[in-house]
Amino acid sequence: MHTVNPQPRAAAMTETERLKQDLDYVAAAVRRRDCPQGLPVLYFLWAALLPIGFALPDFAPRYASLYWLVVGIAGGLFSWWYGWRHARRAGINDAETGRRYGYHWLVAGVAFVLGALPMVLGRVEPGIGASNFLLVAGIVYALAGVHLERPLLVSGLLMLAAYAVLVVASPPYVWTMTGIVIGISLLWAGLSARAGNRHDASR
């Protein structure tokens, strides 16, 4: 009875998988330049959502926690799905970059929760808590601009500048002003990303 040795087939499959991984890596390295600035849709989304959430403590504080719970989870999941879909349509299969994004924003989420914790426990005044929240946001976005998407660097620097103004001047409606600054910075990032993507596409 003649038997077929499965080892050559297994070796061929392994070689095929390795070749596919190499091609995915090359495609990611080349096509990643199609969207080097990030996705404008996501910038615009958060530029709209965040100012609302930051204004609620000033005007409707009882709805703030529910808003952040729903919007934080839903917005985060949508952002992940949209980025994944865009990468698939562009033919990019770069798991390492995906993990880097995921870890960065996961750590950011933890930092935001920890930044809000003293306010939840009543250990700091809301105004101080808002400024500290803006400081965390500025660091998170500035580092994202260094390691992930360049337009976020300017957004982060604007947030840090706003933090200094809020601490020194202590203006009224500090939460609302914080949200406006973040919204404007993300709107700028979205416009910058859209312009950068168009420039790359015209090359």
Q: What is the 3-state secondary structure (H, E, C) of the chain?
A: CCCCCHHHHHHHHHHHHHHHHHHHHHHHHHHHHHCCCCCHHHHHHHHHHHHHHHHHHHHCHHHHHHHHHHHHHHHHHHHHHHHHHHHHHCCCCCHHHHHHHHHHHHHHHHHHHHHHHHHHCCCCCHHHHHHHHHHHHHHHHHHHHHHCCCHHHHHHHHHHHHHHHHHHHCCCCHHHHHHHHHHHHHHHHHHHHHHHHHHHHCC
pLDDT at 51: 93
Q: Is residue 73 part of a domain?
A: yes
- Please indicate, yes or no, if residue 103 is contained in any of the structural domains: yes
What pLDDT was estimated at residue 2?
52
In a domain, 186, yes or no: yes
* Number of compact structural domains in the chain: 1
- 1 belongs to a structural domain: no
Is residue 63 included in any domain, yes or no?
A: yes
**pTM surpassing 0.75?**
no
In this structure, is residue 98 part of a structural domain? yes
Check residue 200 and give its pLDDT.
Answer: 58
Q: Is residue 46 part of a domain?
A: yes
Boundaries of domain holding 97: 6-201
Tens of pLDDT along the chain (203 residues) come to: 555 555 555 555 566 666 566 555 545 544 444 445 678 899 999 999 999 988 988 898 888 878 988 998 898 889 888 887 877 776 666 677 778 888 888 888 888 888 878 877 888 877 677 778 888 989 998 998 888 888 788 888 888 988 888 888 877 887 888 889 889 988 988 888 888 766 555 55
User: Does 80 reside within a domain?
Assistant: yes
